[in-house]
Amino acid sequence: MRIVEDDLSGPQIAEFLAEHVREMRSVTPPESKHALHIDALRAPEITFWSVMDGDAVVGCGAIKRLDAAHAELKSMRTAATRRRSGIASLLLRHIITEAGRMGFTRLSLETGSAEHFLPARRLYEKFGFVYCEPFADYRPDPLSVFMTRTL
């Protein structure tokens, strides 16, 4: 497996992200869904990575620059058939390292509060993220939890 910075131009990553948005819509009402569509992920303040196994996309994640010191983790996803195989840990470790290299000192995220998101919350806790108040433009939402960590 390899992690590559992705310009989001390929059809595989487009379908992988479309599946991510469909899944989020199926478990989260629209007003609480914060998954970004591919066009939004192409913004200059976002760096996006894909995890490749051969030619197959098996995971992805991104960071969005909020300010000079603070970034947000976005679009973390592992292929359904590859969940609990270490891909998310591999990618999260990579993103944390890269965020530090980019000069960020804080990395924050929003994820769901429902049972569906429990594995994600446990992963983030394992990597030192702690629960926090909403950040950036987020507002309190019973369907969201917010986490942060110092780099």
CATH classification of the domain holding 36: 3.40.630.30
pLDDT band at 36 (very low <50, low <70, confident <90, very high): confident
Assigned domain for 27 exists: yes
Assigned domain for 119 exists: no
Asked if residue 28 has pLDDT above 90, the reply is: no
- The number of domains in the chain is 1
Assigned domain for 123 exists: no
Assigned domain for 151 exists: no
The residues, any chain, with a CB within 8 Å of residue 130's CB and separated by 6 or more, are 147, 148, 149
Assigned domain for 89 exists: yes
pLDDT band at 32 (very low <50, low <70, confident <90, very high): low
* pLDDT number for residue 23: 76
Assigned domain for 146 exists: no
Cα–Cα distance measured from residue 142 to residue 12, given in angstroms and rounded to the nearest whole number: 33
Cα–Cα distance measured from residue 64 to residue 72, given in angstroms and rounded to the nearest whole number: 5
Length of the chain in terms of residues written: 151
Q: Are strands 144-150 and 106-112 parallel, antiparallel or unpaired?
A: antiparallel
Asked if residue 27 has pLDDT above 80, the reply is: no
Asked if residue 29 has pLDDT above 70, the reply is: no
The answer to whether the pTM exceeds 0.75 is: yes
Contact 99, 151 (CB under 8 A): yes
pLDDT tens-digit readout, 84-137: 889 999 999 999 999 999 999 999 999 999 998 999 999 999 999 999 999 999
Cα–Cα distance measured from residue 60 to residue 91, given in angstroms and rounded to the nearest whole number: 7
Direct distance between the N- and C-terminal alpha carbons of the chain, in angstroms, rounded to an integer? 25
User: Residue 17's domain spans which residues?
Assistant: 2-106
CA-based nearest residue to 111, from 125, 90, 98, 99:
125
pLDDT tens-digit readout, 50-73: 999 999 999 999 999 999 999 999
